[in-house]
């Protein structure tokens, strides 16, 4: 529609589109699933409603008048223009996008609203409030506002770094905020402050080098996410391989100090020369890979705790000796407990040669460990399932009734039970 054309009450859906060009005006359009309303330079749209699956595009030089409403599932994109429009109303579940050349200053993204900063789009200052979501795509920018203030992520707010992004300057997460590293994103982080949660999503990688995880902070991998620790890491918070198929890798020369790396449903891999203590989550199904060998059975210098879960009822967790091959009748283990049985050392031998010495923290005995073959033909250690249920109790066995004596299994013991003794006469010669 161009010139001085006027459209009113247009319904756009299922592939239907309308372009409003210079001199044209659209009043009260409804855009639903599959429909599109494109407002070009010089065009005017008044009182439009964009519903689930619908798209509105506002280009440089166009005008939105009245109230433009975007409902749950609807999307409005700005290109080459200021997106700070007082007549725009985004309802919970709606999405606003900043395309090439678009900019937004000091916006407040509230509960249920998503702001996507596309390539060439700029968000300056503002806040992602509780329940709100900001997404930074490759080529998008976050800058300070006129007074130099960053984009704040408030408690309960979430900000995601999507594919191709490589950092987050001018973004200030507050305690209770969540940062997400999306698929294809990979960048280093130096410090995670108290109360902040960092989630590494599927296909994403986060590098921690010379970093600090503060008390109360959580850094975790979701399914198929990866965290690489490549230098010193001061860990007073929680670093966890949480999701299935996820990985926390402690590189050679990397040292995690202050706290344990947690095994959830993912994998913690401590390479030769790396150092970290490891704690298994009680209900997790993940594992620990270490590089102990016959030439250095203490390559893994950290401690292991929580293995086998509460009362040794978790039989899915494993410790994999990735540098030791499994072979029938050649692998053996022993466990030497400390005096109070609150820790000890698990020794593993291959052909009589010690290949691993693992310091375990907690109550264990040799019966809490079983050797099996890992998926790559390596030696894998699990907490064994006890035949007919139950668990293996650590420490020495306790004598139960009867002790020394004769057991009469078919005679009940009770108040009416009596025993008699008579001596047979000596046999005559």
The per-residue pLDDT for 181 is 93
The per-residue pLDDT for 169 is 75
Distance from CA of residue 271 to its chain's centroid?
21
Q: What angle do CA 29, 34, 36 make, to 5 degrees?
A: 45
- Report the distance separating Cα 276 and Cα 253, nearest Å: 11
Query: Which two structure tokens, joined as six digits, stand for 146?
Result: 């006129």
What is the gyration radius of the CA atoms in the chain, in angstroms? 33
Domain coordinates of the chain in residue numbers?
A: 1-96, 287-392
Backbone angles phi, psi at 339, to 5 degrees: -55, -45
Residues 6+ apart with CB under 8 A from 110: 129, 131, 132
Beta strands in 293-414 (DSSP E): 303-305, 318-325, 331-337, 343-350, 353-361, 370-373, 378-382
Of the candidates 374, 320, 375, 376, the one whose C-alpha atom is nearest the C-alpha of residue 348 is 320
Tell me the pTM.
0.85
Q: How many CA atoms lie within 13 A of 244 on its CB side?
A: 3
The per-residue pLDDT for 281 is 97
The per-residue pLDDT for 386 is 58
Q: What is the pLDDT along the chain (429 residues), one digit of tens a residue?
A: 545 589 999 999 999 999 999 999 999 999 999 999 999 999 999 999 999 999 999 999 999 999 999 999 999 999 999 998 768 999 999 999 999 999 999 999 999 999 999 999 999 999 999 999 999 999 999 998 878 889 999 999 999 999 877 666 789 999 999 999 998 887 667 889 999 999 999 989 999 988 999 999 999 999 999 999 999 999 999 999 999 999 999 999 999 999 889 999 999 999 999 999 999 999 999 999 999 999 999 999 999 999 999 999 999 999 999 999 988 779 999 999 998 889 999 999 999 999 999 999 999 999 999 999 887 889 999 999 754 444 444 444 333 334 444 444 444 444 444 444 444 454 443
8-state DSSP, 398: P
């Amino acid at each position: 529609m161009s010139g001085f054309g006027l459209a009113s009450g247009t319904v756009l859906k299922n592939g239907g589109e309308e372009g409003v060009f210079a001199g044209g005006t659209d009043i009260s359009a409804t855009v639903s699933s599959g429909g599109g309303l494109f407002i070009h330079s010089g065009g005017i749209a008044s009182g439009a409603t964009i519903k689930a699956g619908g798209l509105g595009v506002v280009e440089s030089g166009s005008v939105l008048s009245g109230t433009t409403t975007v409902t749950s599932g609807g999307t409005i994109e700005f290109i080459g223009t200021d997106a700070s429009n007082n007549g725009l109303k985004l309802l919970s579940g709606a999405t606003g996008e900043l395309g090439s050349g678009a900019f937004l200053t000091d916006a407040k993204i509230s509960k249920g609203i998503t702001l996507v900063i596309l390539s060439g789009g700029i968000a300056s200052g503002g806040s992602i409030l509780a329940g709100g979501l900001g997404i930074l795509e490759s080529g998008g920018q976050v800058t300070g506002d006129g007074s130099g203030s960053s984009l704040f992520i408030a408690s309960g707010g979430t900000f995601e770094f999507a594919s191709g992004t490589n950092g987050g300057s001018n973004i200030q997460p507050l305690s209770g905020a969540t940062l997400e590293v999306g698929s294809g994103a990979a960048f280093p982080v130096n410090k995670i402050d108290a109360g902040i949660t960092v989630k590494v999503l599927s296909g994403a990688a986060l590098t921690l080098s010379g970093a600090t995880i503060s008390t109360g902070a959580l850094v975790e991998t979701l399914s198929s996410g990866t965290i690489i620790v490549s230098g010193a890491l001061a860990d007073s918070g929680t670093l966890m391989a949480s999701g299935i198929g996820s990985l926390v890798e402690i590189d050679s020369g990397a040292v995690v100090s202050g706290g344990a790396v947690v095994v959830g449903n993912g994998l913690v891999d401590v390479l030769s020369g790396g150092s970290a203590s490891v704690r298994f989550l009680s209900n997790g199904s993940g594992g620990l890979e270490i590089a102990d060998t016959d030439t250095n059975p203490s390559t893994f210098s950290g401690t292991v705790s929580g293995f086998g879960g509460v009362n040794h009822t978790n039989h899915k967790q494993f410790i994999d000796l990735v540098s030791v091959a499994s072979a029938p009748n050649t692998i053996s283990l022993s466990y030497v407990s400390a005096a109070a049985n609150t820790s000890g050392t698990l020794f593993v031998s291959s052909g009589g040669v010690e290949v691993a010495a693992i310091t375990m923290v907690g109550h264990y005995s040799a019966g809490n460990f079983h050797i099996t073959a890992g998926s790559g033909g390596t030696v894998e250690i699990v907490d064994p399932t006890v035949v007919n249920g139950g668990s293996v109790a650590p420490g020495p066995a306790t004598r139960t009734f009867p002790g020394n004596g004769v057991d009469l299994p078919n005679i009940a013991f009770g108040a009416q039970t009596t025993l008699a003794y008579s001596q047979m006469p000596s046999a005559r010669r």
